[in-house]
Every structure is written in C-alpha cells, then in structure tokens.
Amino acid sequence: MSSTALKDKKLPPQKEKHTVSNFVGGTLKIAGGTVLGATMLVSALIAGGLVGLAMSFRNLPDVRVLKDYVPTETTYIYDVKGTQLASLHDEANREVVPLESISPNLKMSLLAIEDSHFFTHQGINATGIGRALVANVNKGGVSEGGSTITMQLIKNLFLSQKREFTRKLAESVLSIRLEQVFRKEKILEMYMNQVYWGHNNYGAETAAQSYFGKHAADLNLAEGALMAGLIQSPERWSPFVNLKKSQIRQREVLTRLRSLGWITEAQDKEARAYKIKIGKIKTWQRSKLPFVTEAVIDELNQKFGRETVRKGGMRIQTTVDYKFQRDAEELIAGIGKAYGRDFQIALAAVDPRTHYIKAMVGGIDYNKSSFNRATDARRQPGSSFKPFVYYTAFATGKYSPESIVYDTPVRYRDGDGYYAPKNYAGGYSGAITIRQALKMSANIPAVKMGKAVGLDKVIQTCRTLGIRSPLEPVVSLPLGATDLSPMEMAGGFATFAAAGWQSEFPAVGNASQSSTTSIVRVSDSEGNILLDHSPEKGNRKLVLDPWASAQITSAMESVIYGGGGTGKEAAIGRPAAGKTGTTSSERDVWFVGFVPQLSAAIWIGKDNYKPLGKGVSGGTYAAPIWRRFMNQALVGVPEENFQPASKFKRPGTNKSQKDEAVE
C-alpha cells in the first residue's frame, strides 16, 4: 500500500480504552474513565499556547535547513567488475533511498505501530499526547512520549535523546513548523532514511540488506512488520539476537494492522505463517581485499578528505579485478610460506595502456602484518634503477644501446672524501656496450653515464615517470642509492612499456597529480560522477621520447633473453623486458619487468633491514617470482611485440648522429 493510498484511506475509529489514576499533589484530578477529557484539555492548551510557547524557544533551529540536508551515507568500494569489496562508514551505516524505493509493506507497518494518524495530524497528535500525559502523571515522571513520526524525526535531527518536558515542548513547536515546510511524503522519507534499526544500521535500505539480504523495496508483509517492530528497541528485539522476541513484536504489528483495517485476515495469516530468512550482520565487515581497499581509501582521502569519504555515500569502482588480486595474494603467500624465514615479499602490477593498478600485494600475510609494502615501503631498488639512467642518456640522442661505455676503475669526489664504485662480482670488463652493461648489471658504466648526462636530468626523468619519493643527485644514485616503492617502480617501467605514453590523473582537492591510480570512477549515491579516470577521458600523454623508450626496452629485453643476463630466470616465452636489482649485503632484492600489457615489480626483503643471506639476489629469487606471477596473470592474453626503435625518430637535429662513447 503506497503512502498516498494510506493518506486517502478512511482510518477506522480508535477503539483503545485508557484507565487514568488521580494526579496526586496536583491541581488536575481525573478518576477512571477514558482519556477524552485530558485530550480535550491538551488540545485546548496546544491550540491556544503554542504561539506564545514559540516565543520562549527563539533559539530553536530553523527546520528550513533540512531543504539542503544530506544525511551521512555509507561509502561502497567495488572491484572493476562490480564485486563489492568493502563499505566505509563512521557512526552511521546508511544508504539513502527515495520513498518509492521502500516497500509499501514496511511503510504501512511502520505507520501502524508508530503513528497511524500520520497523514491526518499537523505534526503533533493531541490524542497521543493526551494519552502520554496521563501515563506520565500516573508514574510521576516522563515514561511515555506520545511522539508522532514528525516529532521523532525532529528529535533525531535536532534535539537530545533525554526525556524532559522542555524537550517535548520544543519537539512540538518544531514539528508543527516542519509540517508547514515539507510535504508528508518528504517527512516520511527523511524519517525512514534517518531512523536507527540496530547493529549500526541507519535507514530502511541498509537495515533491509542486513536483516534479510534484500532491498527495502522488496520486503514482504512479514518482513516489513518485523522490521517496523524493531524501531522502539532495535538491539533488544533484533532477530540476530533473539528471533522469537522479534517475531512477538512482528505479531503485535500485524495485530495493529488488522485492527486498523489496513490488511485483510488472509494477509494477516499469510504473514504470520511466513518463515523468515535472516541475513547477516554487515556492520564493520572486513574488506575482501584489504591491501587494495586501504590504498583506495588513502587515495580518496587525499582527493576528497576523510569526512567526505566515510560519510558521503560514494560508490567507488576500483581498477582491480577481485580474482586477479586474490590469485596474486595466494601466489605470494604460498612462496612466503615455502621460504619459511622472516622474508617479506611485495608485488605491484600496473597496466601500461591505462596506468591502472591491477594488483598490489603488500606482504606475505595481511593478518600478521597489514603494512602495505607495495605502496608504502621505500627501499633501495639497487640496479633496477639503472634503466632510468640509460633512458635519460638515450633521450639526448647521443647514445643508444650499442654505445660504448668503459667498465674501468674510476673515483669521484663525494663530499669530504672520494667514491669509487665497484661491480657486484668484482673485476672490470673494459670497453662494453650499454646493452652488455645492463645485461650483466655492471655498476661502473651506470655511474659514469649518470655523471655524463647529469644526475639532475636523471631525477627529472624519474619525476616525469611519477616517482615522488625524495631523490638526491649523489654519485651513487645510478646504483639505486635511494628509497622507492614497488608501485613507483612498476609505474615507471609501465611508461617504458607504452613507448613513452602515460596517463595523468588530475589532482582533486589537496592531492597531487599522479601517474597511476587504483580508481576508475567515483560517483555519489544518486549516480552523479565525482571523479572519472576512465580511458575515454583522454588523459594519456606522450611524456617520454618514444625512440629512447623503445631503445631502453630493447636493452632490457637482453637482460632476460640476451644469453647470460641477470634476468634469465624471468623468461616467460614471449617478448618481455626487465631489470634485476640487488643492494649491498643483500638487504633488498628486486625484479621489475613488463610485457606490452602488464608491468610488475617484485621486492623481497626484511622489515628490520637485515641481510637476506649470501647468494640471495634479484636474479635468483625475485625474477622467478615475477615469472610465476606473469605466467599466471597472462593466461588468455595474446602475445604482443614491443614497438621497435626504428619506428621512431632519434632525438637531435643531426640526421647523421652517431653514438658517443663514455670513458
């Protein structure tokens, strides 16, 4: 039955009888009988006194502010395909819906038990107030409220919950004013979205989802009557606590509906016979993908602020597929268990075509450590940093992978002393190509190239690639003597994979512009778009030189497939490029690599920065993990080749540009 139908329906006369005791110590004296006399007296007082009373409540709030009132709502996070991952809320778990999206069975039941005269009174019900007054006189205090739905809404939104006579007067004044400003249907809608239904569920929609696992629009009469019966004491009569108690209240509501003539005897019997199927408590449920949702929340907080995120009723579509992420988590957990040491492993994966984050595994076991090492840990990348140096060299047009660089002893002034880089395996190789230097991960050529092109330019390349971690132009920077996150590494290499193309996601609020994102789209509860990172928005830009990007990709292919490269354990039987990284004393080991459709970084280390052990390197430990992840991730993904450097123009104006050597 719709609210309009209820409004138009001729309500039967009330049949209740009330016995009243003497008001001891007062001037009013009523002996047993009906409440008619008290009601008439109260009506007269209300009619003649509320104008004067209003003068005594000049500091009461203006109900017109409710025209712009937006109740706090629960924010929901979904994966890229629409699977719900988490819900966010503070004190109020609420999803606001229009009145027409609430079942007539629930509306009818609620009105019957809470305020059957709702569509005939003007905010206050003289009969109800008179009945409450008599009950309160009997008990010598405030025990009954006599509140209408309008008064309950006023109490919830503006006034304290404490039972005081002055508060009831304020409720009456404000309720009359509210009825002058808003239509009945709007008041009922606000009430049904505002009211508390137990277990941190606010509003009919959230409560229906929790108690019955269905939308408020789909509740039948049995479910609507049960929910309506909970309002006066939600936790006490909750079906989650005691289903039998809640069904007692349900039958009271059905009896009331029957006495009002709002349902037939057949409907009454059918509702009483219906077997209620109880849902699950959804309050404070843990996220299905906590590493992902916590990173999403952090990104949202930067863009919109924490209050808006937790109370704004947002709908967030993330870039992550639930199954893809779960498969990655299970892979890392299984490998970590096999190691049986206090190793930690982090994985970050980015799609080069969109710069969407596709997976982030912050550690071996979230339950044991919730720290997200994929996004928040800054560790030295070692030799996996070298591609940023060599790309910077290629972008000058003076060098290519076949340029000669001398792997010979060198010493540089470094502060008050000198710095003499050494190769990981010791010894020197003399004149070698950059391709060879990268393949064998020679340190001295990388340091020489950094000095030749300028460390400030190397840092500029990193900034262009979206790396925001602090970087200093120290001589050892080309060897990864700085702290970066796995996500920064995966995002930077993704731009190489895309031949220099990169997505730029505009800043919102105080957030900085970013080159990777975990969010596709954000809307409010009514479907209005608040943030749109969809590919069709055209946020792709060419940020690197395509020839230089293709050349560094070609050089990194040799790391895996060039014969004897440090990344040979990363071979996956299709075009792939990457770079190993191992820091001094084996504290951090890496493999960062990519195919045209996916870039991924693997980091292994210990949270206490202790060495992993002799022989633990990026090539022997991280590369095999990368291979296993990519083989799993690329099932069903067609093989693609990288774009060749010959497709692009070499930088520089000299068409006969030849490679320069670095001694």
pLDDT per position as a tens digit, 446-486 = 999 999 999 999 999 999 999 999 999 999 999 999 999 99
Instruction: Supply the pLDDT for residue 90.
Output: 57
In a domain, 97, yes or no: no
Enumerate the β-bridge partners of residue 361.
347
- Structural domains in the chain (count): 2
Which helix or strand (DSSP H or E) is residue 406 part of? strand 404-407
DSSP 3-state assignment of 419? strand
In a domain, 128, yes or no: yes
pLDDT per position as a tens digit, 632-649 = 999 999 999 999 999 999
Question: Which residue range is the domain that position 33 belongs to?
Answer: 15-69+117-183
List, as own/partner pairs, every contact residues 266-271 make where C-beta atoms lie below 8 angstroms and the sequence separation is at least 24, other chains included.
267/221, 270/221, 270/222, 271/220, 271/221, 271/222, 271/225
Given a contact cutoff of 8 angstroms between Cβ atoms, the answer to whether 569 and 618 are in contact is: no
Cβ neighbourhood burial of 16 (10 Å; 0-12, 13-18, 19+)? exposed
In a domain, 264, yes or no: no
In a domain, 635, yes or no: yes
DSSP secondary structure of 126-168: HHHHHHHHHHHHHHTS-------HHHHHHHHHHS-SS--HHHH
Confidence class of residue 122 from pLDDT cuts 50, 70 and 90?
Answer: confident
Residue where one domain finishes, among candidates 140, 163, 183: 183
Given a contact cutoff of 8 angstroms between Cβ atoms, the answer to whether 492 and 464 are in contact is: no
DSSP secondary structure of 237-298: S-TTT-HHHHHHHHHHHHHHHHHHTSS-HHHHHHHHH---------TTPPPSSHHHHHHHHH
Percent of the chain with pLDDT over 90: 60
Enumerate the β-bridge partners of residue 523.
315, 529
Confidence class of residue 168 from pLDDT cuts 50, 70 and 90?
Answer: low
Instruction: Supply the pLDDT for residue 476.
Output: 94
Separation between Cα atoms, residue 458 and residue 192, nearest integer Å: 59
In a domain, 87, yes or no: no
DSSP state of 177: H
Residue where one domain finishes, among candidates 168, 183, 198: 183
In 3D space, the residue among 549, 568, 583, 15 whose CA is nearest the CA of residue 255 turns out to be: 15
Overall average pLDDT of the 385-398 stretch: 97
pLDDT per position as a tens digit, 207-256 = 999 999 999 999 999 999 999 999 988 878 889 888 998 999 999 999 99
DSSP 3-state assignment of 493? helix
302 versus 146: which is more confidently predicted?
Answer: 302
In a domain, 554, yes or no: yes
In a domain, 233, yes or no: no
pLDDT per position as a tens digit, 269-280 = 999 999 999 987
Q: What's phi and psi for 554, nearest 5 deg?
A: -60, -45
pLDDT per position as a tens digit, 315-346 = 999 999 999 999 999 999 999 999 878 899 99
- For the chain, state the CA radius of gyration: 35
Separation between Cα atoms, residue 321 and residue 311, nearest integer Å: 25
Separation between Cα atoms, residue 300 and residue 286, nearest integer Å: 18
Overall average pLDDT of the 600-629 stretch: 95
Give the number of other Cβ atoms within 10 Å of residue 529's Cβ: 10
Separation between Cα atoms, residue 604 and residue 525, nearest integer Å: 41
In a domain, 215, yes or no: no
Residue where one domain finishes, among candidates 136, 164, 183: 183
DSSP 3-state assignment of 76? strand
Confidence class of residue 89 from pLDDT cuts 50, 70 and 90?
Answer: low
Q: How many CA atoms lie within 13 A of 660 on its CB side?
A: 12
